[in-house]
Amino acid sequence: MKLEGKEQIWKDYQKEIADDRYYYARSCIRQTFFPGSEWAYLDILRNRLGKDVMDDPRHTTCTGIGYHSDVVPAQTIMTVVARHFALMTEAGYENITPSCITSFGIYTEILETWAHHPEVEEQVREYLWKATGREFKKPRNLAHTSDIIYKFRGEIAARARHRLVDAHTGRPLRGVDHIGCHYAKMFPSKGIGGAEFPAVLSGMITAWGGEAVDYPERRHCCGFGFRQYLVMANRGYSVANSKKKFESMRPYEPDFIVANCPGCAMFLDKWQYTISEMEGTTYGANGYGIPVLTYEELAGLVLGYDPWELGLQMHQVAVEPLLDKMGVAYDPEAKYLTRDGKEMGRPKCPTYLKV
């Protein structure tokens, strides 16, 4: 085997990722379901890795969920994104890093569309000026926040308090990755490993001591489908697609799932509960589910953050089996307490899924 040749091919699946000075674009879904992940990302970047990240309160939704639900026209979302570029430009930044995969796909699509159709970009500049009086430069570098964590996976490994290894047996923990359709299926050259060889999350898993599981439906959609989840009548589509993935990954006995897209992370967590209620089926060992983490949560655990500071109590599938394997110390009694230690009740127990 000629390694040089393989290395050459692999270069086609890499992308440029800026190494500092990022303009952060939050995610509607991530901040709703995983607020601790957004906090951990900023804390890791700023306080552990010494990076400059701007968290701008003037930033709004990109309107992506509305766009892919077909209630927000293309010229509208383009102008909203152009405003984000303007805020970035005015703040003196050139590297934009969306936290949402839908946003990342949209930013990428818009820049590609403008490259093919400069007249569309000109029209958007006029719209933005008319609506806000702002002007913008296009970002020099666009990277998803997972790309940034991937870039610094070695630095995170060097600071690890826990590895993705069974602390009792030394066995590397098996991780299933889910990179999300809009990360690389639309523009494969913009995602690490492209759509075919997803590496952004599996690269983190292996760097932190785990084993990345390749399974038949690894690349299949989680089933969000925008209108297919948002409208109650359509949710069968959504859960059916996640079920297909769970059935396919189950024989590999994964210790955890790590997801790129905040929507995917939420669905892969919540649908395990729904399927257990519908069919009595659970996918983890001993009646538990397979813990589902965001990559920020995974990085946070590796770096020794407290699970409840990361917001893991907001997950439906219990994360304790993974914490126990990793040897993470945690206080079970603190899981459902307020910041100042007051009780706020406990969630009800599901019928079948052990928590």
Partner 1 sequence: MGEILKRLHEDIHFIEGLNSCMNCGVCTAICPAAEFYNYDPRVVVETVQRGDEGEIERLLESDTIWYCGECMSCKTRCPRCNTPGLVIMGLRRVSQELGYFTRSEKGRQQYALKHVIGESVLKRGYCVTPDLVRPEMHPEQGPVWEWVYEHMDAVYERTHGNLRKPGAGALRAVDEESMGELRRIFDVTGGTEFLEHIEACSREEARREGMDLEEGYFLRTYMENSDNHQ
- Within 154-193, which residues bind partner 1 (CB under 8 A)? 181-182, 184-186, 188
Does residue 236 touch partner 1 according to CB under 8 A?
yes
Does residue 115 touch partner 1 according to CB under 8 A?
no
Start-to-end Cα distance in the chain: 48
CA 295 from chain center: how many Å?
Answer: 6
Contact region with partner 1 (CB under 8 A), list: 141-149, 161-169, 206-214, 266-274: 266-274
Rounded least distance, CB 280 to partner 1, Å: 15
Does residue 233 touch partner 1 according to CB under 8 A?
yes
| Torsion region of 311: left, alpha or beta (phi above 0 gives left; psi -120 to 50 gives alpha) | left
Among 2, 11, 116, 168, binds partner 1 (CB under 8 A): 116
Separation of alpha carbons 258 and 176, rounded Å:
6
Contact region with partner 1 (CB under 8 A), list: 12-20, 164-172, 325-333, 334-342: 334-342
Does residue 197 touch partner 1 according to CB under 8 A?
no
Q: Which is nearer to partner 1, 205 or 264 (CB)?
A: 264
**In this structure, are residues 149 and 110 in contact, taking their beta carbons and an 8 Å threshold?**
no
Among 64, 193, 254, 307, binds partner 1 (CB under 8 A): 64
| DSSP labels, 201-258 | HHHHHHHTT-EEEP-TTTTS--S--THHHHSGGGHHHHHHHHHHHHHHHGGG--SEEE
C-alpha neighbours within 13 Å on the C-beta side of residue 195: 13
Rounded least distance, CB 176 to partner 1, Å: 18
- Give the E-state strand segments of the chain in sequence order: 22-25, 53-55, 95-98, 141-142, 174-178, 211-213, 256-259, 292-294
**In this structure, are residues 150 and 203 in contact, taking their beta carbons and an 8 Å threshold?**
yes
Does residue 14 touch partner 1 according to CB under 8 A?
no
Does residue 337 touch partner 1 according to CB under 8 A?
yes
| Torsion region of 261: left, alpha or beta (phi above 0 gives left; psi -120 to 50 gives alpha) | beta
Among 48, 218, 220, 250, binds partner 1 (CB under 8 A): 220
Does residue 90 touch partner 1 according to CB under 8 A?
no
Among 21, 94, 218, 350, binds partner 1 (CB under 8 A): 350
Among 17, 61, 160, 247, binds partner 1 (CB under 8 A): 61
User: What is the footprint of partner 1 within residues 16-35 (CB under 8 A)?
Assistant: 26, 28-32, 35
Does residue 3 touch partner 1 according to CB under 8 A?
no
How buried is residue 82: exposed, middle or buried, by Cβ count under 10 Å (0-12/13-18/19+)?
buried
Does residue 76 touch partner 1 according to CB under 8 A?
yes
Among 315, 322, 325, 328, binds partner 1 (CB under 8 A): 315
Does residue 232 touch partner 1 according to CB under 8 A?
yes
Separation of alpha carbons 80 and 95, rounded Å:
17
